[in-house]
Structure 1
């Protein structure tokens, strides 16, 4: 009986193992539930998109200033190299002329029999000729000394010019490297901003422009309400009026980074050319305009003054009175008028102070 029970249990166990091992019967593991990390990221709001685009264009503007400064310095270095090259040529010509004079003196001595003037003087019996000869020998010694001194100075100058030219060339190459780096960064930032804009529908682009204007209006209203500007219609100087007239005449022309007119401008290209038209040359870049031009308080602003924006001085516009500026905003925008307080003000400079 016990043996039969054991046999029955064994048969049951074998059948169960056979069923479980059968290839026709498989049991799949349950599907994993989607986690938060694999779910689709939420779509950005238009305001977030606006801020992202604005940041990219501001970074491009900062790189544009670096490009403009490198370009200005490269032009200055090129001019200095040309100047030094002319000095080197003149110095070499001067050395050649001095050597010719020294050679002529040597040939004259050879024609005199090869004797130095002092020896010929000793051999003369004429007292007057002796006195005249002594005077000429003294003059000749002085002339020779002067000739050798001038030759030495010219050679020293030539060496210095050559060394200077080498240094200027190295600086020129360094500025060209900076230009290339800035160009790559500018194009990258602008391309990234445009890529975002290209993903937007026509209605979204329109709304994006409206948001931009709303932010500017809010900032301008808050700035005017703060009392920062006590007098909005001060009189411009004669040069300031000419600068304003030039700048406002450019309204509608496109922003192009690195441009100084006459068909397009970047922000500092517009202000520098406007003040040049007003009869005053100023630095090319917004950062140099901020660094080098005399500063005035915001409350004392008058038309023609330049308002510098953002902590890195990467943007600049010209105050035209009535709380407004004319400026070249950014790529995909034209020279226009907007509120002076529509952006973060760093300070104000006055070219003709």
Structure 2
């Protein structure tokens, strides 16, 4: 007699991909190098997730969209990705672009895990849908101001371009430096030529010039002008937004780009996971990975654990942010509500003030570092 077939009604396992949208500036006028590092971290972590069995046996599929530093393009990408059924959106480097993406994701009920943007006001109103790995600008730039004060700087000149991000940074610096007797003078980096800006710095007797500008223009010509001006030989150049971190800074400026303090978000020492990922990222990028690459990796590490534990339903993902505890390359990621920040925030992200060593511009020097309680 033929063997009867099983009457089990078990459903076949779901092996369809878990789709996740990924935003990064991959073309001009975006900072393409930062976007490339961010994407490298995202892709490395996704490949490791899939090599380990994916999300409950389902592969993790990154749908990458180039924002080109355009907020409107980011909004359109979020809308497209939502329609494609992604479980969440991750990434983005530029703060103003990330703010536009976060606002649209919040309106659509789509979880957004922001990797690198630091603008405090990432959403207009408090959001349960948005979480962020990078420290808020108000924390990082206060650390930077503390480093200036510790080095004895009380007369600060700022070369700034119009931007919500630069304006917020300038406000943070002023508010933090003023109680310590420091003065901050703002110079228009668009209206003044590099030579005229040097005249202004010399006239104000500033001991430090901070670049709150785009890269390579006008940052590169400004650095060259200051370095070649004998009146400003003792003036410190600073770039709090982190432009000197990436190799293009060193390629563009050589020795002139050394000794320029900037913010980066790495621990003083990596643990085993960080060391392993650093090696893999270096091979992938064919250069030293920036902190942006580690932010990308940690983003997928966090989201993958959320998806494994809580599933792919968007509302359940968003509800899980306060319960996250995931070991990343830079520490254990936990999200909480932070005063003045409307999104779920990792309060423990490390913050360093670093520069390139004038004796060896390929080597970084840690000038000041903080932990999660500083």
Q: TM-score range by the shorter chain?
A: under 0.3
Q: TM-score, normalised by structure 2?
A: 0.22
Which structure features the higher share of helix residues?
Answer: 1
Which structure features the higher share of strand residues?
Answer: 2
Q: TM-score, normalised by structure 1?
A: 0.23
Q: Which structure has the greater CA radius of gyration?
A: 1
